[in-house]
Amino acid sequence: MFLEERQESIMTMLNEDGKVRVKELSEKFGVTEDCIRKDLGSLEKQGRLKRTYGGAVRLRENLHALEISKHRNSDVDAKRRIAHAALKLIHDRDMVFLDISTSNLAIAELLVKDQRELTIVTNMIDILVILARHPKIRVIFAGGKINKSRDGFWGGMTMDFISHLKPDIAFVGAVGVDVLENSVSTYDIEDGINKAQIIRVSKRAYVVAEAKKLSSDGNYNYASLDTLSGLITDAMPEEKVRAAAASYGVEIIVP
């Protein structure tokens, strides 16, 4: 087998399994472990994988969709499906925290037609606008310093306000969810600190994220999955992801 063919075979295995091991590749291709390490080094230089101790793992994508306003109209159906699943977890008279997230915006749009008596707490401006006139929903706004994309608030004042709350349930957005590594990430540190605080004070907390975010990452890990009640997404992930979530006691909820 030519060098290029072997490396392409390695990438095929990596894309299927998410990781490869030097020893197993050496046995499969009948070459030395040092030869495989050189293959992995070459593929890493090409930006196709990330080397780890004893092998390599698939690269996770960083989408860099920083501003909510620029991607609120993407994956609309997936977000609507997530929102329908989230609504089933809300009880009458609950205090619900919806943080800055386009999936949470989809939840708010469904709540417009909901007749339950609820208290909604949010730091996202669009959610406030959508729900402010609802006759049975009491809206509480968590203000503070306006964020970079100017769609909500975070910072010390927002954090202090959140610290005094005890929501019955919270839904927090994410840029990336790495179930195998037990991490949830976002782009901005202040956003992540706010999200972590919301999770800490809430009786139940769920991450809302489209299925594609299970293979992407932000730049700041703000929580581990085992601090959450569950993950709400639009499509059931593969078995190894479900097994990892179950090992943390985290429920994966799909519509």
Successive 10-residue mean pLDDT values, the chain, 255 residues: 85 82 91 91 85 82 51 79 97 97 95 96 96 95 90 93 97 94 93 96 97 89 96 94 93 95
Same domain, 126 and 206: yes
Query: Are residue 237 and residue 201 in the same domain, yes or no?
Result: yes
9, part of any domain = yes
Geometric angle at alpha carbon 211, from 88 and 255, rounded to 5°: 25
Determine the Cα angle at 60 with ends 57 and 62, to 5°. 155
Residue 236 lies in a domain: yes
Contacts of 108 (CB under 8 A, 6+ apart): 98, 120, 122, 126, 127, 130, 131
Same domain for 52 and 110, yes or no, is no
In a domain, 170, yes or no: yes
Q: Are residues 37 and 109 in the same domain?
A: no
Residues 6+ apart with CB under 8 A from 172: 97, 99, 101, 104, 195, 198, 199, 205, 206, 207, 208, 223
Per-residue pLDDT, 216: 85
Q: How high is the pLDDT of residue 49?
A: 82
pLDDT at 205: 98
**Do 167 and 80 fall into the same domain?**
yes
Whether residue 72 sits in one domain with residue 29: no
Regarding whether 129 and 240 lie in a shared domain, the answer is: yes
Same domain, 123 and 35: no
Task: Please work out, in degrees rounded to the nearest 5, the angle formed at the alpha carbon of residue 82 by the alpha carbons of 108 and 154.
Answer: 50
Q: What is the CATH number of the domain that holds 26?
A: 1.10.10.10
State residue 65's pLDDT score.
Answer: 47
Residue 229 resides in a domain: yes
Shared domain for 47 and 140, answered yes or no, is: no
Amino acid at 126: D
Say if 39 falls within a structural domain.
yes
Number of structural domains found in the chain: 2
Q: Which of 18, 33, 58 is the last residue of a domain?
A: 58
63 occurs within a structural domain = no
Residue 196 burial by Cβ neighbours in a 10 Å radius (0-12, 13-18, 19+): buried
Per-residue pLDDT, 50: 83
Residue 145 in any domain: the answer is yes
Domain range for 240: 68-253
Domain co-membership, 185 together with 157: yes
Specify the CATH number for the domain of residue 168.
Answer: 3.40.50.1360
Please say which residue of 14, 29, 58 terminates a domain: 58
What's the confidence (pLDDT) of residue 70?
53
Full-model pTM: 0.76
Q: Are residues 99 and 36 in the same domain?
A: no
Same domain, 51 and 131: no
Please say which residue of 29, 58, 87 terminates a domain. Answer: 58
Residue 159 neighbours by CB distance under 10 Å = 17
How many whole angstroms separate alpha carbon 238 and alpha carbon 180?
11
